Amino acid sequence: MEFTRTVLGVIALAALLATATPALAGVDSFKSELNGSNEVPPNDSKATGSIVATYDGSTKKFAYTITYSGLSGPATVAHFHGPAAPGANGGPELMIPGRPSSPIKGEAMLNAAQATDLEKGLWYLNIHTVAHPTGEIRGQLTKE
What pTM value is reported for the model? 0.80
pLDDT band at 99 (very low <50, low <70, confident <90, very high): confident
CATH code linked to domain 24-143: 2.60.40
What span, in angstroms and rounded, lies between the C-alpha atoms of 19 and 78? 41
**Residue ranges per domain, the chain?**
24-143
Helix (H) or strand (E) holding 33: strand 27-35
Largest pairwise CA distance in the chain: 80
pLDDT digits (tens, 9 = 90+) for 2-41: 544 544 444 444 443 344 334 444 899 999 999 999 999 9
Residues 78, 101: Cα–Cα separation, whole Å: 10
